[in-house]
C-alpha cells in the first residue's frame, strides 16, 4: 500500500454478548468508488480536534510503526538470514507464496491449505476495543489499540479482546495507546473473545480465507503509531482457561529431527514433483475443537507414503509430540 492509496473504513464483527467488537480499516487501491464508500461509511476524526478528554489524531496522517516478523527477536522457525531471503523490516510480505502457504491433508484425507505464521504461544496478548457509555457497538472510526508488536516481549498473533468504556463525549482516536487508556482511567473489561490477527508490514497480502472473509488489512494503534494486521475469522474463538486452544497436527520433514540438518530446516517432505505434503490436521473449520494454533507432532518420514489421513498419521511412529505450537489458519478444504 502506498501513500497514494485510497482507504475505506469498516467495522469487523467479532461478537461479545452479541456486540460488534473489532473496529478497524482496510486499505484499497481503488479509485473514486472507494473514496465514495469512505465518505458514506465513516466519520473521519480531524487532527487536533479536542474531545474534552484530549486531542483526536487522524490515522491517515499519523506515523506508522516499523514491523519485522523475521528478526531474531520476532521469529522462531522463520528468522531472516542472507541465505533464505525472507523480507526485511517493514517490507510487504506476500503470504501466498512459499514458505508461507502449505498444502496438507485434512482428517479425512481431503486436501487443505493453510498459512504459516510461525510459532506462537498459548498466552494471548490483549487488544483494546473502545465503546461509549451506554452503547453496545464499538466507536465508529476508532482504531483498536495494542501494546505489543512482533519482536516485543508478550507479542502474540492471538488477541484477547478487552472492552474499554469511554464517556459519551469521547472523540474517535483521542486514544492511540494503552498509556492513554490508563492515564484517562477508563474502565476495561477482559472478555472471552479471542481473535487471530497477525500484525504485518503495511501492504502485505494473504488472499485466501476459508470463509471468504475480507482479506484486506485492518489498522490499529500501537503507542501512538498505526499498525496493520490480517484477520482470520474461519471460526469464532474463545479463550480456554485464559489460553489459546490447541488442535493437533502431524508433520514429516525431509530429514528427521535428530539427524544432521534435520527438522524444520530441512523443509516438509512432499510428494515427488509436487507441493503436496502429508502434514495432517486433526480438525478443519466447522469441526468441534478446531483451532488455528496447532500442537505439532512429528512422525517418522519413513512412513510418509503410508500417511493419508488422521488415522494413518496417528498410527505412524511418532518422533516428537508437542514440538511447537504454530499459527496456521486453514484457508481451504477440497
Residue at a domain's end among 238, 264, 296: 238
Residue at a domain's end among 238, 256, 285: 238
Residue at a domain's end among 170, 205, 238: 238
Residue 86 lies in a domain: no
According to DSSP H, which parts of the chain are helical? 32-41, 178-184, 310-315
Taking the CA atoms of residue 79, residue 235, residue 268 and residue 110 in that order, the dihedral angle to the nearest 10 degrees is: -160
| Structural domain count of the chain | 2
SS3 label, residue 266: helix
d(CA 23, CA 13): 8
Give pTM, 2 decimals. Answer: 0.85
Q: Are residues 266 and 220 in the same domain?
A: no
Residue 279 lies in a domain: yes
Q: Are residues 43 and 156 in the same domain?
A: yes
Residue 83 lies in a domain: no
Q: Are residues 44 and 190 in the same domain?
A: yes
Q: Are residues 33 and 181 in the same domain?
A: yes
According to the model, what pLDDT value does residue 7 have? 32
Q: Are residues 15 and 155 in the same domain?
A: yes
Q: Are residues 272 and 144 in the same domain?
A: no
Per-residue pLDDT of the chain (334 residues; tens, 9 = 90+): 333 332 323 223 333 333 444 433 322 223 333 333 333 333 333 344 444 457 899 999 999 999 999 999 999 999 999 999 999 999 999 999 999 999 999 999 999 999 999 999 999 999 999 999 999 999 999 999 999 999 999 999 999 999 999 999 999 999 999 999 999 999 999 999 999 999 999 999 999 999 888 899 999 999 999 999 999 999 999 999 999 999 999 999 999 999 999 999 999 999 999 999 999 999 999 999 999 999 999 999 999 999 999 999 999 999 999 999 999 999 999 9
Q: Are 104 and 138 in contact (CB under 8 A)?
A: no
Residue 109 lies in a domain: no
**Strand 111-115 to 125-132 pairing:** unpaired
Residue 189 lies in a domain: yes
Q: Are residues 12 and 141 in the same domain?
A: yes
Residue 261 lies in a domain: yes
Q: Are 254 and 248 in contact (CB under 8 A)?
A: no
Q: Are residues 55 and 141 in the same domain?
A: yes
Q: Are residues 234 and 138 in the same domain?
A: yes
Residue 213 lies in a domain: yes
Q: In sequence order, what are the beta bridge partners of 165?
A: 131, 187
31 grid coordinates: 479509485
Taking the CA atoms of residue 302, residue 303, residue 306 and residue 310 in that order, the dihedral angle to the nearest 10 degrees is: -150
Q: Quick one: how far is CA 149 from the chain centroid? A: 12
Residue 73 lies in a domain: no
According to the model, what pLDDT value does residue 53 have? 59
Q: What are phi and psi of 14, to 5 degrees?
A: -155, 90
According to the model, what pLDDT value does residue 212 have? 83
Q: Are residues 175 and 48 in the same domain?
A: yes
Q: Are residues 186 and 324 in the same domain?
A: no
Boundaries of domain holding 207: 7-67+124-238
According to the model, what pLDDT value does residue 172 have? 97
167 grid coordinates: 464517556
Q: Are residues 143 and 17 in the same domain?
A: yes
Amino acid at each position: 500500500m502506498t501513500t497514494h492509496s485510497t482507504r475505506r473504513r469498516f467495522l469487523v464483527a467479532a461478537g461479545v454478548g452479541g456486540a460488534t467488537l473489532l473496529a478497524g480499516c482496510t486499505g484499497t487501491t481503488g479509485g473514486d468508488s472507494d473514496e465514495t464508500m469512505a465518505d458514506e461509511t465513516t466519520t473521519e476524526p480531524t487532527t487536533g480536534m479536542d474531545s474534552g478528554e484530549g486531542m483526536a489524531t487522524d490515522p491517515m496522517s499519523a506515523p506508522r510503526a516499523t514491523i519485522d516478523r523475521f528478526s531474531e527477536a520476532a521469529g522462531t522457525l522463520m528468522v531472516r538470514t542472507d541465505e533464505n531471503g525472507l523480507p526485511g523490516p517493514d517490507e510487504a510480505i506476500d503470504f501466498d507464496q512459499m514458505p508461507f502457504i502449505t498444502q496438507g491433508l485434512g482428517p479425512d484425507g481431503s486436501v487443505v491449505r493453510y498459512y504459516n505464521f510461525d510459532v506462537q504461544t498459548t498466552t494471548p496478548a490483549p487488544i483494546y476495543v473502545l465503546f461509549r457509555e451506554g452503547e453496545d457497538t464499538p466507536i465508529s472510526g476508532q482504531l483498536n489499540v495494542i501494546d505489543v508488536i512482533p519482536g516485543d516481549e508478550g507479542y502474540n498473533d492471538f488477541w484477547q479482546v478487552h472492552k474499554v468504556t469511554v464517556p459519551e463525549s469521547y472523540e474517535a482516536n483521542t486514544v492511540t495507546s494503552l498509556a492513554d487508556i490508563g492515564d484517562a482511567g477508563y474502565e476495561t473489561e477482559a472478555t472471552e473473545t479471542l481473535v487471530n490477527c497477525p500484525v504485518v508490514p503495511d501492504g502485505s497480502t494473504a488472499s485466501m480465507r476459508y470463509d471468504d472473509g475480507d482479506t484486506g488489512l485492518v489498522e490499529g494503534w500501537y503507542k501512538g503509531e498505526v499498525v496493520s494486521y490480517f484477520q482470520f475469522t474461519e471460526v469464532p474463538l474463545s479463550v480456554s482457561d485464559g489460553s489459546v486452544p490447541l488442535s493437533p497436527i502431524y508433520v514429516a520433514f525431509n530429514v528427521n529431527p535428530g539427524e544432521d540438518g534435520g527438522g524444520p530446516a530441512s523443509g516438509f517432505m512432499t510428494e515427488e514433483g509436487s507441493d503436496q505434503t502429508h502434514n495432517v490436521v486433526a480438525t478443519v473449520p466447522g469441526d468441534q475443537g478446531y483451532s488455528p494454533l496447532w500442537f505439532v507432532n512429528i512422525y517418522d518420514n519413513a512412513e510418509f507414503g503410508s500417511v493419508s489421513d488422521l488415522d494413518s498419521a496417528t498410527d505412524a511412529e511418532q518422533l516428537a509430540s508437542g514440538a511447537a505450537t504454530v499459527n496456521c489458519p486453514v484457508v481451504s478444504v477440497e
